[in-house]
Amino acid sequence: MIHLSAKQTELLQNTSAERFYCVRIKDFLMTDYSHDLVLSDGVYLASDLLVGVTPPEASSSVDRALYEIILSDAYNELAKHYSEGLIGSKITVRIGFLDPATDQPLTDEMFILYSGIVQGKDVSFDTELEGKAITKIIGSNVLAALDATDGFYTSRDTLRNIDPNDTAFDQVYEGSRSLTLLWGKR
């Protein structure tokens, strides 16, 4: 559960409060704020690459809606990040607000909106006059793997890692001659 300060609660309830996002994908830090921001985990570079953040829609049931970060990458600046192990890398999205009195970012009042891993990406191209490329980085929902189970490989080595004395798969693993197997209790 996210614990909010009185100032954060006030800013969230104020519909006219200006907000900005700080997004970390792998080691790439960017913000949609107009200037670079120094936070505790690094310098978030002001970038027009970050178009928006689309959180999953809230519902009363346990669902597996996904989180999307939308990037505009017309010059293919992020191509090396896409090809170097993007899937499975960590994503963190922070939200911050501008102080209504000074128009300065309240970096000490930011909080994590989403933290997870990259589940996939979707790139679409629009080849009109100038052309543009929109990339959606898809972050998994916290409950996405709720019913996932680990696989169990039926090999001699896998079973030996679980129990060194178990020989149940020794003959099955061979498989090159005819066998009569007695499964169950004797």
pLDDT value of residue 125? 77
pLDDT value of residue 100? 80
Local mean pLDDT, 10-residue blocks, the chain (186 residues): 78 83 89 90 88 72 71 72 76 88 85 85 72 81 63 72 81 61 70
pLDDT value of residue 36? 92
pLDDT value of residue 156? 74
| CA atoms within 13 Å, Cβ hemisphere of 116 | 21
Distance of CA 170 to the CA centre of its chain: 41
Q: Is 71 exposed, middle or buried (0-12, 13-18, 19+ CB in 10 A)?
A: buried
Q: Determine the Cα–Cα distance for residues 115 and 57; give it in Å rounded to an integer.
A: 16
pLDDT value of residue 53? 87
pLDDT value of residue 44? 92
Query: E strands within the chain?
Result: 19-25, 28-31, 37-39, 42-46, 50-54, 67-72, 90-97, 111-126, 132-139
